């Protein structure tokens, strides 16, 4: 049932949001040189590596260098990128990932291999499920980059404080997973995006 939901609504979403995709693509190209999409390798179900797709929000070249995490007002972020991140429009291309089947609308957020390897035993259970666009951790840490801002070692804080909490939330999702709970998380995500100051 979950896969049927993902296929149906990802297809509907791609059709309905096509004009938004076109507008965002044009704005990205006008604002800075480089590709429209940002492609990054993430760890999916059963530790399979897949390419996650987002709208590019950083300047060319440096968006593919440095830390895998974004901290505060990262100088790499473009003007349109700030807007896309604030409104979460940069996440929309992940609907392609859902349609292709390497992601779901709801599930533990996919991490880069570097961080998964730090907690590989924990992820054995988590990665029995497909990663998702949203989950409990996404709602809790919607302001993650701001939380990392000002930390002496943002990556250390992420791996030692935030990531263990995300793992805990992922396990909570596994324990509570159901179609109705997924719908609840989707609605909460939409509500949070629309009511973000």
> Consecutive sets of 10 residues in the chain, 197 residues long: mean pLDDT of each?
93 96 96 92 97 91 60 79 91 96 96 96 95 95 83 90 96 94 95 79
DSSP tag of 129? S
CA-to-CA distance for 197 and 189, rounded, in angstroms? 14
DSSP tag of 41? E
pLDDT in tens, 132-169: 999 999 999 888 888 888 788 889 999 999 999 999 99
Please give the model's pTM, rounded to 2 decimal places. Answer: 0.89
Give the helix ranges, DSSP H, for 33-87. Answer: 79-87
pLDDT of residue 154: 87
Q: Is 6 within 8 Å of 98 (Cβ atoms)?
A: yes
- The H or E element spanning position 95 is helix 94-100
Phi, psi of 111 (to 5 degrees): -110, 165
């Amino acid at each position: 049932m979950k896969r049927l939901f993902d296929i149906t609504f990802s297809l509907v979403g791609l059709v309905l949001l096509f004009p938004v995709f076109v507008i965002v693509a044009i704005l990205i190209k006008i604002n800075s040189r480089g590709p429209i999409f940002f492609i990054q390798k993430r760890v999916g179900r059963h530790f399979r590596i897949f390419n996650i797709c987002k709208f590019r929000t950083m300047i060319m070249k440096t968006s593919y260098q440095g830390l895998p995490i974004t901290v505060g007002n990262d100088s790499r972020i473009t003007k349109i990128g700030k807007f896309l991140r604030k409104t979460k429009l940069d996440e929309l291309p992940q609907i392609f990932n859902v349609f292709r089947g390497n992601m779901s609308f709801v599930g533990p957020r996919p991490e880069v291999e570097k961080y998964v390897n730090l907690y590989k035993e924990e992820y054995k259970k988590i990665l029995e499920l497909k990663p998702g666009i949203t989950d409990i951790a996404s709602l809790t840490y919607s302001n993650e980059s701001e939380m990392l801002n000002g930390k002496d070692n943002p990556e250390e804080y992420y791996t030692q404080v935030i990531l263990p909490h995300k793992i805990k939330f992922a396990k909570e999702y596994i324990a509570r997973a159901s179609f109705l709970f997924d719908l609840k998380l989707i609605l909460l995500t939409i509500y949070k995006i629309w009511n973000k100051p």
